[in-house]
A and B are shown apart, each in its own frame.
Chain A
Amino acid sequence: MGLGNRLSDRRTAHLFILPLVVVMVVFIVVPVAGTFVTSFFRDITYLEPAFTFLANYKRLASDAGFWQSMRFTSLFVAVCIPVELLLGMVFALILNERLPARGVLRAAVLVPWAIPTIVAARTWELIYNYSYGLANWVLALLHAAPQPVNWLGSPLSAFGALVIADVWKTTPCFFRITLPILRPVIAVALIFRTIDTIRILDLIYVVTDGGPGGSTTSLSLYGYKFFNEGDFGYGSTIAVVVFVMAFLLSMAYLRAGGFKGAVE
């Protein structure tokens, strides 16, 4: 190919990737940058915005609600990810056996993954219902508890209830990636799931709405609650914290995944 051809080829390439770059910049890069900027402002609906520089970050340091949600999110990741990985590998081991109807079994295991998260969340909310939910019915059937458990009523049981629901929903994610058991792939899956769990919101929004007493409020949910009240300055500050955590992990993800080699 001649030089002129190669130049016009480059121009074609730039034209072809332009739409992708434009949507990513306008609807992700710009909003992320906007969130960083907003976190330096007092920005509350109906009030005049005021540049307050690090005031929101100082508020974070002494905000008990923020630290509670930081603690919850970290604990939730620390408990869910190992359980999901372990269970996913058990499932993978079972399904690697020569079994009759293996296709049906595989499909059954993937059902939780295929169900929309909100649908799963409402189903688990009903399962944990104190007076007519499935969980207490099973406990009574097995004579496993002297009286019904108020699943979503105490911080510890609400935490456990959310862990079970999350493990149920996301174990297939591990399972389908760990099936060809390869260590780098497991590392990639682990980091990916960790990022995914750090930013969790929808499941918790439905099942506990962060309760009781804010004990199951994830960082994303905590930030959302400020947005929802019209406090964009402080909400953005919390969002920045979540972004930085996810960003650092995604750098590790890119390294572990060997994506650069894949492109080159």
Chain B
Amino acid sequence: MSERALKRVLLALGIVFMLVFCLTPFIYMIVVSVSEKPDFLSAAVDFSATLANYRDVLAVRSLHFLDYLRNSVAIGGLVALITGGIAALSAYAVSRIEFRGRVFVPLAVLAFSMFPQISVVGYLYKLMRAAGLINTYPALILPYIAWTAPLAFWILLSYMTRIPRDFDDAAFVDGADRLTIFRKIILPVALPGLISAMLLVFIAAFNEFLFALMLTSDHSARTVPVGIALFEGLHGEVPWGYIMAASGIAAFPLIVMSLYFQKFVIQDVTRGALKG
């Protein structure tokens, strides 16, 4: 066999392995979610398709999946808005104003972005309990803002650093102040960066598990990941059909969002922040 043919065979095998490896669990999840009996892979059970799992998960109130979904979307949306605003303001300052702490603040933010969640969650619980906020939206929104701000800040910083300072200077000559320049000139130019930062923040907040597990106790504030992790059936057995249907509903929009934005975001971050 020629070297070229060998390479083609290896490549084809590699592609098949890659696709099987990456997609099998996802396809399995979807198949189980539309199966009447989730144990259809055992010898005695046949597969038959149904949409009942999706219908029940969305319609049976005592499963509370819609509550979890509403909580997750509301919390994730609010966190994305607030974090986006906070991060844009600070990235603007660091990217174009000389001040003490201009180098220290971004590095400290980055260093603290890598804290393990376990090292704050116990004390957060005590703080939130003292404030009477356990099992409310603010109990999750407030820590999520701090937890996602570094990511949004660094994306926006790498974005704004590439906007020429001439933009600001020209506006200065016209007598505009910093806040006006930020709102009217820089923010519109940095909008794609802001949107992708907010999207990543939303995804992070939507997926977060440990804070939500510790700081909520029932469907009034519990989010989708905790709901799915603790899902119990109406009769006590593990309701795999429901769990996989709920998983499919939670995963689908996230896959679409991530795939749509990942290329753009990652190129941006690696080009701006890592290579310097």
Chain A residues in contact with chain B, CB under 8 A? 1, 6, 9-10, 12-14, 16-17, 19-21, 23-24, 26-32, 34-35, 38, 90-91, 93-94, 97, 99, 105, 107-124, 126-127, 131-134, 137, 168, 172, 176-177, 180, 184-185, 188, 192, 195, 198-199, 201-202, 205-206, 219-220, 223-224, 227-228, 232, 235-236, 238-240, 242-243, 246-247, 249-251, 253-254, 257-264
Known A199-B118, A263-B103: A23·B207 in contact at CB below 8 Å: no
The CA-CA distance from A224 to B214 in the complex, in Å, is: 9
> Which one, B35-43, B52-60, B189-197, is touching chain A?
B35-43
Interface core residue of B25, B40, B182 (most chain A CB under 10 Å): B25
Q: Are B90 and A94 in contact (CB under 8 A)?
A: no
Q: Are A23 and B86 in contact (CB under 8 A)?
A: yes
Q: Are B87 and A116 in contact (CB under 8 A)?
A: no
Chain A, residue nearest B246 (CB): A119
Is there a chain A Cβ closer than 8 Å to B184's Cβ? no
User: Which residue of B21, B143, B150, B247 is within 8 Å of A119 (Cβ)?
Assistant: B247
Query: Known contacts A13-B102, A263-B103; can you find 20 more A-B pairs with CB under 8 A?
Result: A10-B99, A12-B93, A16-B89, A24-B108, A24-B146, A35-B123, A90-B18, A94-B14, A115-B26, A122-B243, A134-B25, A205-B209, A220-B116, A228-B214, A236-B122, A240-B119, A247-B115, A254-B107, A254-B110, A262-B274
Instruction: Provide the residues of chain A in CB contact with B213, threshold 8 Å.
Output: 205
The CA-CA distance from A198 to B157 in the complex, in Å, is: 28
The CA-CA distance from A90 to B11 in the complex, in Å, is: 10
Interface residues on chain B, size class? 35 or more
The CA-CA distance from A249 to B116 in the complex, in Å, is: 12
Chain B, residue nearest A11 (CB): B99
The CA-CA distance from A223 to B92 in the complex, in Å, is: 39
What 8 A-B pairs come out closest when comparing CB atoms? A114-B258, A199-B116, A27-B146, A34-B123, A31-B120, A243-B119, A16-B93, A132-B39
Instruction: Provide the residues of chain A in CB contact with B177, threshold 8 Å.
Output: 12
Instruction: Provide the residues of chain A in CB contact with B262, threshold 8 Å.
Output: 110, 113-114, 176
Is there a chain A Cβ closer than 8 Å to B9's Cβ? no
The CA-CA distance from A105 to B178 in the complex, in Å, is: 46
Instruction: Provide the residues of chain B in CB contact with A239, threshold 8 Å.
Output: 116, 118-122
The CA-CA distance from A111 to B244 in the complex, in Å, is: 16
The CA-CA distance from A85 to B51 in the complex, in Å, is: 39
Q: Are B254 and A198 in contact (CB under 8 A)?
A: no
Instruction: Provide the residues of chain A in CB contact with B111, threshold 8 Å.
Output: 247, 250-251, 254
Q: Are A116 and B21 in contact (CB under 8 A)?
A: no
23 contacts between A and B (CB under 8 A): A9-B98, A20-B87, A20-B89, A23-B142, A24-B149, A31-B127, A111-B259, A116-B247, A132-B41, A168-B25, A202-B210, A232-B122, A235-B122, A236-B122, A238-B118, A239-B118, A239-B122, A242-B116, A246-B114, A251-B111, A254-B111, A262-B272, A263-B103
Q: Are B116 and A246 in contact (CB under 8 A)?
A: yes
The CA-CA distance from A199 to B105 in the complex, in Å, is: 24
Is there a chain A Cβ closer than 8 Å to B62's Cβ? no
Interface core residue of A20, A35, A176, A223 (most chain B CB under 10 Å): A20
Is there a chain A Cβ closer than 8 Å to B29's Cβ? yes
Q: Are A223 and B97 in contact (CB under 8 A)?
A: no
Is there a chain A Cβ closer than 8 Å to B276's Cβ? yes
The CA-CA distance from A94 to B11 in the complex, in Å, is: 7
Q: Mark B95-139, 1 if CB is under 8 A from A, else 0.
A: 001111111011111111011111111111111000000000000
User: Which residue of B38, B89, B226 is within 8 Å of A19 (Cβ)?
Assistant: B89
Is there a chain A Cβ closer than 8 Å to B22's Cβ? yes
Is there a chain A Cβ closer than 8 Å to B171's Cβ? no
Q: Are A250 and B243 in contact (CB under 8 A)?
A: no
Q: Are B116 and A258 in contact (CB under 8 A)?
A: no
Instruction: Provide the residues of chain B in CB contact with A16, threshold 8 Å.
Output: 89-90, 92-93, 97, 178, 182
The CA-CA distance from A28 to B142 in the complex, in Å, is: 10
The CA-CA distance from A24 to B87 in the complex, in Å, is: 12
Known A108-B22, A235-B122: A23·B99 in contact at CB below 8 Å: no
Q: Are A123 and B25 in contact (CB under 8 A)?
A: yes
The CA-CA distance from A202 to B177 in the complex, in Å, is: 47
Chain B, residue nearest A246 (CB): B116
Chain B, residue nearest A185 (CB): B274
Instruction: Provide the residues of chain B in CB contact with A240, threshold 8 Å.
Output: 119
Instruction: Provide the residues of chain B in CB contact with A120, threshold 8 Å.
Output: 25
Is there a chain A Cβ closer than 8 Å to B19's Cβ? yes
Instruction: Provide the residues of chain A in CB contact with B107, threshold 8 Å.
Output: 254, 259-260, 263
Instruction: Provide the residues of chain B in CB contact with A247, threshold 8 Å.
Output: 111, 114-115
User: Which residue of B28, B87, B99, B179 is within 8 Å of A134 (Cβ)?
Assistant: B28
Q: Mark B218-260, 1 if CB is under 8 A from A, else 0.
A: 0000001110110000000000100110010011001101110
Q: Mark B32-76, 1 if CB is under 8 A from A, else 0.
A: 100000111110010000000000000000000000000000000
User: Which residue of A35, A121, A180 is within 8 Å of B270 (Cβ)?
Assistant: A180
Known A123-B244, A185-B270, A188-B274: A116·B254 in contact at CB below 8 Å: yes
